[in-house]
Amino acid sequence: MNNNPVNDFLKKIFGNHALQENLRSFLEEFSIFETDATTESKTTKAIFKELKEDFPDATIKASHKLEGNFKLKIALEVDEQIGIEVKLANVLVKSPVNIMKFLGQAICLQKKYGSHFYIVIVGAEEMTQNPVIVELVNMLQNLKMTVFYIEWETNITEK
């Protein structure tokens, strides 16, 4: 752990604002191959691996269980203050039940993390225009949640 008195002083004054801004930039720029995003678990592991490399001083937990009666988990937690939930677009659009479960989960997670709660939806580029995804993202943003849509890259190379 870094015991630099200047960093400790700045952290007391500014909190984790710099970390939060750097994390937002990381999520805006993150890319993933389709083959690494076949399940939410696999996608979370890929993001976790990159986070650990880009933020070596941060404490990052994957699939972290939260206290409380609802037995919630957050996909990724950074420094016990920032929560990142990862969802696959194709899973969300399969059933309205998936959307409703996720909305309930997101509301509970936002209660814990507040403005430090980020939602990452991963999927194909064309899914950004799917009416279910468009409506979901609008609803989440109206609830003051920060949503990142990460378009996966295909591994196909031209011959």
Cβ–Cβ under 8 Å, residues 86 and 122:
yes
- Look at residue 159 in the predicted model and tell me its pLDDT: 43
Q: Tokens 């070596």 correspond to what residue?
A: 56
In whole angstroms, give the CA distance from residue 63 to residue 94.
23
Q: Which of 107, 119, 144, 106 is nearest to 47 (CA)?
A: 119
- Using DSSP, state whether 41 is helix, strand or coil: helix
Distance of CA 108 to the CA centre of its chain: 15
- Look at residue 2 in the predicted model and tell me its pLDDT: 44
- Look at residue 6 in the predicted model and tell me its pLDDT: 52
Confidence band, pLDDT 50/70/90 cuts, at residue 17: confident
Confidence band, pLDDT 50/70/90 cuts, at residue 18: confident
Higher pLDDT, 106 or 154: 106
- Look at residue 1 in the predicted model and tell me its pLDDT: 40
- Look at residue 12 in the predicted model and tell me its pLDDT: 57
**Domain 19-151: which topology?**
Rossmann fold (3.40.50)
Every domain of the chain and the residues it spans:
19-151
Q: Does pLDDT of 137 surpass 60?
A: yes
In whole angstroms, give the CA distance from residue 47 to residue 83.
13
Q: Does pLDDT of 139 surpass 70?
A: yes
Mean pLDDT of 24-38: 93
Residues 6 or more apart whose CB falls under 8 angstroms from that of 98 comprise 91, 92
Tens of pLDDT along 81-136?
Answer: 999 999 999 999 999 999 999 999 999 999 999 999 999 999 999 999 999 999 99
Higher pLDDT, 17 or 84: 84
Q: CA torsion angle for 155, 32, 109, 142 (degrees, to 10)? A: -90
Tens of pLDDT along 54-81?
Answer: 999 899 999 999 888 888 999 999 999 9
- Using DSSP, state whether 63 is helix, strand or coil: strand
